[in-house]
Structure 1
Amino acid sequence: MQRILLVLIFFVTIICNGQNRPLLYNVDDLPQSLLQNPGARIDFTRHVGIPFFSQIHLSAGSTGVTAYDIFADDGSDVNQRVRNVMRDITAGDYFSVNEQLEILSVGWKMGDRGYFSTGIYQELDVFAYFPKDPAVLAFEGNANYIGQDFDFSDANFTGEVLTVYHAGFNFKVDAKLSVGGRLKLYSGIFNVESTDNEGVFRTIETPGGPNFYRHEVSGLNVTVNTSGYASLKNEEGMTVDQAAAELMSRSLFGQNGGVGVDLGFNYRVTNQFSVNASVQDLGLMFHQKDVENYNYFGSFQTNGLEPLFPELDNNEATIPYWDIFEDRVDLSLQDETTNNAYTTWRPLKYNASFEFGTGKSILPCDYLISKKPRFMNLFGMLISGVNRPKGPTYGVTAYWDRKVNDHLRFRLAYAVDEFSITKLGFMMSSRFKNFNIYLAANDIIGYTNLAKANSASLQLGMQFIFKDL
C-alpha cells in the first residue's frame, strides 16, 4: 500500500497547477482569460492551443508556516522548531496545491457577435487545514493539557484529480455589454475528502476517583471518503509501474462524473471604465464507482488499567488486562469500511474587478467592434476567492497592464491574500505574427528564497491567435 500511495503522490506532483490566476484575468488578447470569465471582452477571432503547452500552471502555498521554519540550518533543535510552529499555527491555517494543464484548446468567431471556445484540461486541487489539536496530541501528548479538549474537527481536507471537458460561448450584447457561459463535464480520476468531522479527546483530573485522571473520547465521528483508490489498494501484486499506468489510463476517461458551469460578464460603463465579474465551477461530482469510505465513531472513557497481582500456581494464567482493555475500546470506538456513493461540490471560484484605461489608441479592426478604442495603460483591481470547507479564501490584486504594441504586453501586480501581504506579480505576453507565448509569475519576491516563501505560482503557455480583418 505504501508504494501505491507513493505513486499517487508522484502523479499529483507531475501535474501540479493553480486555480485563481489574477495575472491573466481580463487580458483581452489571451484565450485563457475566457476560462476565468467566459464573458470577458476579447479582440481575436480564432485561436488554437498547442496541445499540452497552451497552459501549464504550477501553484502551491501554506499559511502560517514555511519550509524554513522547520528545516532552517541554524543549529537550533528541530524538535523545538516544530514546537514553535505548532504553537503559532492555528486550525484555520492551511496548505494547498493546485493544478491546471490544458490538453486541448480551440476557439473561433461565430456570427458577428459570438465566439465559441472548447477544450480539455486536467486539474488537481489539494487543500488541507492544519490539524492542530490532533497534531499537538500526537507530538506532545496530554500531560500539559489537562482539562483541555482536543478537537477532531481540526482534521479537514479535500483532494481531487480530474479531467474537464468544456464548451463556452461569449456573446457581445451591444457596445457596452458582453456575457458568456461555459458548460463543463467532469471526469474523476481520484478523490479523497474528510470534512465535518466531530469528537473531542480530553483528560480530566479525578482526585477522588480510582485514578488521578480520567481519559475521555466523546462524540467521535470521523469519515474519510475516497474514489479511485480502492482498486489500486486491493489489486494483489500490483507494482508501482502498474499503478502509475492505471492512473494515467484514467487521465481522459475517469470512473466518476460530474457537471458544472462558468458564468460571467463584462460591462463598459464608459469608454475608459469597465466592470466585470464571474463564477467558475458551479458544479457537482458524483462518486459512485471504485468508492471506499472509512468511518471511525463512538465514545469511550477510562481511568486506566487497575491490575491485580494474586498469587498464581503453575497452571494459572495471568489476567490479560491489555486484551480486556482492547476489547472495551473496540466495543466503544468502532471503525467500519463501506462502499457508499457520495457527492462533492467543486471548489467554487469567484472574481470581480474594475478597470480604468489611459493613453487612448484606435485599432481599426476587431470582430466585436468596428473601431475599438484601445488604451495603452490599464489600471485595475481584482477581488478573487475560492470556497473551502471552513469558508472562502480570498485575495485582492491591483495591477498596471501596459500594451506596448500589437506584439508585446506586460502586467505588474501587487496582491494581498492569506499567504502574503507583499505579493508582487509579473506577466508578459509576446506575439510573433500569429504565434503567442506568455509567462506569468506571482509572488516573485519569494523566488529569491523559496524556503522562506509562503506561496509560489508559475504559469506559461503558447498558442496560435488570429485577428482576421
Structure 2
Amino acid sequence: MLLRFTTLSALFFAYTLAWAQQSNSLFFMHRIPQSNLINPAVQIDCPVYVGVPFLSSLHLNLNSTGYSYNDIANGTGTINFPALVGQMHSWDYLSEELHYTPVSFGFMYDNDQYFNFAWTERVESKLFVSKRLMSLFANGNTQYVGNGLVTSNPGLNSFYYREFSFGYSTRLRGDVLVGAHAKILFGLAGLYTKRNSVDIEIDALTHNINARWNPQVNVAYPIGVTTDAAGNVTGVSAGAFSPLPFSLNFSNPGLAFDLGFVKPNDPITWSGSILDLGFIWWLKSTSRFTNDGHFVYRGATPADLTNPDAYIDMLADSINNQVQFQHSNGSFVSFLNPKAYFGGTYAFTPQLLAGAHVRTEWYPGRPVVGLTLSAIAMAKKGSSVSLTYSVMNGSFANIGAAFNIGGESFQFYILADNLLAPFYPERVRNANLRFGFNLFWGCKQKKKKLSIPESSGGGCFWTWGLDQKRKQHGVK
C-alpha cells in the first residue's frame, strides 16, 4: 500500500498542471472590498457596499511548491523520477482551492468603525510527499544502508466547509486601523491523513527492506465499509448522495479568527494580517482507518525476473497480506492552514504607489514563503490597477495584474498572480484567478474635480474619516 500510494502521489505530482493562488495581487488593492478578506483592518471607500448576490467573489487556484511538469519531463512526455526528486524540497505539496462567496456586504457605522459579513463555500486540498521517501523509489535503497530512513508518511488532506465571517475594523490614534474576523465554520465533507512516522531499515548484507508505519486516515462522509472475519477492511464504497441533506449539514462545527492592521506612516504605510487561525471538529458520518503497519520486502531473485508478471502479482499479494486496515467510527479535529501577510507601500504621488509584501503559509511539515512587489495606480473616481511580480514556490516567473473598474456605484474586479499560465501551462508552478462584482451606496461624486489632501495616506480613500469622505464627494 505504501509503495502504491507513493507511486500514485508521484504520478499525480508529475502529470497534474501546477496552478496556484496566493492572493498576492489583492493585498494592496484596498479599493476592492474583498481585500478585507486577507486583511480585516481594511475599510471601504463608500458608506455601504454589497457584493452582487451570487457574483460577489469566485476564487480558483492550484499550486505546486516544487516544480512544473516541464521540470521533470523536459518536453519528452516521460516522467524522469530522479529529476523529480532532484527538484523537490524536504516536503512538497500540490494544493487546490475553490472559494465561492455568494453573499457579502459591509458598511461604515460611523467615522471610524466598519462592519462586514461574508458567506463563503470553501473547498481546499493538499497532497504532500516526503523527498526522502520518494528518493527511496527513484534512486534505490543503497543510499539508506546502515542509517535507515525515518520520515513522515505522505498524505492527502481535503475539506469542503462553509464559512460565515463577521468582521469589524476601527480607527485608533494616528489613523491606525485594526480589524478582526470571527468565523463560524461548518464542515460538509473531509479527508484527513494524520502525519505519522515511517521507519524503514535496510539490511546491510541483503538490502532487504523492513518498514514500520502506523497510518491513520479519517473520513467525514457517508461511506460503506466491508470487512473479513478478522475485521480487516476488504472494501469501501461511497454512500448515497442527497444534495439537500448534504448542503444543510451543520453537525461539524468549527471556529476561526483573522487579525490585521494598517498603519499609515511617513513615507511608508505598513500592513499586516494573520488568517485562518482555527479548526473544525468533525462529528457526523466519520470513519477512521488505522493499521499497525509492518512490511518486509526481500527483493527479487533472478528466477523472479524470468516471469515479471507473476512476480508483480506475488508482490501485490504480499503487500495486501502484510498491510491490513481496521475500521472504526470516531470524531476527529482538523486545523486550518494559517497564513500571514506583512508589507508596506510608498506613495510617489497620491495616485501612484509602490509596495512589497511577504506571504507565509504553514503547510503540514513546513512553512511556504513568497515575496511580491507591486506598482499601483489609482484613478480619482475609484478605479485602480496593479502590476505585481512574485517569487513563490521556487519560481521566479510570476507576473500578475489586478484591476477594478468603477467604484462610485458599481464595480467589477479581476486579478491573477501569474499572467503567463494560460500561455505556458507546462512550465508554470503558479496561476490563479479571482473576480467579482460589487455595488456601492453613498459615494457618488458630486464635484467635477476631487482634491486629495496631503494627509490622506497616499490617496487611499479607506484611510479617510467618514466626514472627510462625504466632503470630498460632495455628500451632506
Normalising by the smaller structure, the TM-score range is 0.7 to 0.9
- Partner Cα distance (1:441, 1:302) in 2: 48
State TM-score, norm by structure 2: 0.76
Residues 1:274 and 2:269 aligned together: yes
1:223 corresponds to which of 211, 216, 234: 216
Aligned residue number for residue 351 of structure 2: 376
- How is 1:364-443 mapped onto 2 (pairs within 5 angstroms)? 375-431=350-406, 433-443=408-418
* Structure 1 residue 196, shift from structure 2 partner: 2.5
Q: Contact 1:91–1:154 at 8 Å: present in 2 too?
A: no
Aligned residue number for residue 231 of structure 2: none
State TM-score, norm by structure 1: 0.77
Match of 1:405, SS state, is coil
- Partner Cα distance (1:426, 1:118) in 2: 26
**Cα-Cα RMSD:** 3.4
* Structure 1 residue 146, shift from structure 2 partner: 5.6
Q: Contact 2:153–2:215 at 8 Å: present in 1 too?
A: no
Residues 1:262 and 2:258 aligned together: yes
Structure 1 stretch 136-145 or stretch 392-401: which is displaced more? 136-145
- Partner Cα distance (2:373, 2:417) in 1: 13
Q: Contact 2:21–2:62 at 8 Å: present in 1 too?
A: no
Match of 1:85, SS state, is helix
Aligned residue number for residue 24 of structure 2: 22
- Partner Cα distance (1:17, 1:66) in 2: 9
- Partner Cα distance (1:451, 1:357) in 2: 38
- Partner Cα distance (2:19, 2:254) in 1: 21
- How is 1:190-205 mapped onto 2 (pairs within 5 angstroms)? 190-205=189-204
* Structure 1 residue 102, shift from structure 2 partner: 0.7
- Partner Cα distance (2:144, 2:249) in 1: 50
Aligned residue number for residue 160 of structure 1: 159
- Partner Cα distance (1:94, 1:327) in 2: 26
* Structure 1 residue 165, shift from structure 2 partner: 0.7
What are the Cα deviations for residues 33-79 of structure 1, in whole angstroms up to 9, with x where unaligned?
Answer: 111111124322111111221111111111333233466654x7x25
Q: Contact 2:393–2:429 at 8 Å: present in 1 too?
A: no
Q: Contact 2:92–2:129 at 8 Å: present in 1 too?
A: yes
The one-letter code sitting in structure 2 at the alignment partner of 1:40 is V
- Partner Cα distance (2:260, 2:238) in 1: 49
Query: What's the % identity of the aligned pairs?
Result: 20
The one-letter code sitting in structure 1 at the alignment partner of 2:164 is Y
What are the Cα deviations for residues 208-250 of structure 1, in whole angstroms up to 9, with x where unaligned?
Answer: xxxx4543123x2211122125369999895xxx53x54x753
The one-letter code sitting in structure 2 at the alignment partner of 1:343 is V
Query: How many pairs does the alignment contain?
Result: 406
1:464 corresponds to which of 412, 435, 439: 439
- Partner Cα distance (2:224, 2:410) in 1: 44
- How is 1:110-121 mapped onto 2 (pairs within 5 angstroms)? 110-121=109-120
> Relative to structure 1, is the Cα distance of residues 214 and 85 closer, same or farther in structure 2, using a 3 angstrom cutoff?
closer
Higher Cα Rg, which structure: 1
The one-letter code sitting in structure 2 at the alignment partner of 1:196 is R
> Relative to structure 1, is the Cα distance of residues 378 and 41 closer, same or farther in structure 2, using a 3 angstrom cutoff?
farther
Q: Structure 1: which 5+ runs fail to align?
A: 1-15, 207-211, 307-321, 360-374
Match of 1:445, SS state, is coil
Residues 1:32 and 2:22 aligned together: no
- How is 1:69-108 mapped onto 2 (pairs within 5 angstroms)? 69=71, 74=76, 78=78, 81-108=80-107
Match of 2:24, SS state, is coil
Q: Contact 2:357–2:371 at 8 Å: present in 1 too?
A: yes
Aligned residue number for residue 338 of structure 2: 348
> Relative to structure 1, is the Cα distance of residues 200 and 115 closer, same or farther in structure 2, using a 3 angstrom cutoff?
same
Q: Contact 1:127–1:157 at 8 Å: present in 2 too?
A: yes
Aligned residue number for residue 230 of structure 2: none
- Partner Cα distance (1:204, 1:235) in 2: 36
- Partner Cα distance (2:207, 2:113) in 1: 72
Aligned residue number for residue 67 of structure 1: 69
1:453 corresponds to which of 412, 425, 428: 428
Match of 2:354, SS state, is strand
Q: Contact 1:18–1:57 at 8 Å: present in 2 too?
A: no
Match of 1:397, SS state, is strand
- Partner Cα distance (1:237, 1:37) in 2: 39
